[in-house]
Every structure is written in structure tokens, then in C-alpha cells.
Amino acid sequence: MDWQQKDSAIPDKVSTPPEFEPFVATEKVANFLGITPRRVLELARAGDIPAHPIGHGRRRTWRFRISEVNGVFAAPARTTALQSSLVVPRRQKEKSA
């Protein structure tokens, strides 16, 4: 194989790896969504938002990627159902008769 054949085997463009996105803590996701950190953890445990648990014990540390969480809300089919799950109903005061 001569040098001309070797050059033709090299692709013109080399794909670049995707940009690295760091994991963020619960508090950042809560701030991004405008809800409490406790509610973020509830949604993560229920599987309503993408999350990455770290550890195998009872107390796991949850980490998130903002783009993944944002992608859930960008999907039109799940947006309404998920947005309604973000709202926590308030307790109504019982009227005394």
C-alpha cells in the first residue's frame, strides 16, 4: 500500500465527542424548576424526571443533568402531566358547621 492509498482511507471529518455536561445537585435542579429540593427528590424517586442515583444504601445521593431535565419538559406529550405533578395541592381548611 503506497502513501496515496493510505491518505484516501482517512476520513475527511473526524467526529468530535459530545460536550461534557457535569452533574448538578438537587438544589440546582430545584432552582431551575422553581420547586423545592424535596419535591425534586420525590419526582426523581418516582421516575418522573431523569436522575442518577449514586450509592446503593438507603441514603442515596441523586445527581442530575439540566439538559435531561429540560428535555422532559420540552416533550409535548409529557409536559402537561408532569407540570401538573409539580403543583402540590394545598390543604383546604374545613368549615365548621
Question: 5 lies in a domain?
Answer: no
Question: 97 lies in a domain?
Answer: no
CA 95 to centroid of chain Cα atoms: 42
Question: 73 lies in a domain?
Answer: yes
pLDDT for 54: 92
Instruction: List pLDDT tens digits, range 14-68.
Output: 555 567 889 999 999 999 999 999 999 999 999 999 999 998 888 889 999 999 9
Structural domain including 42 reads 21-83
Domain count, the chain: 1
The residues that bridge with 62 in the sheet, in sequence order, are 53
CATH number at residue 40: 1.10.10
Question: 10 lies in a domain?
Answer: no
Question: 88 lies in a domain?
Answer: no
Task: Between 76 and 42, name the one with better pLDDT.
Answer: 42
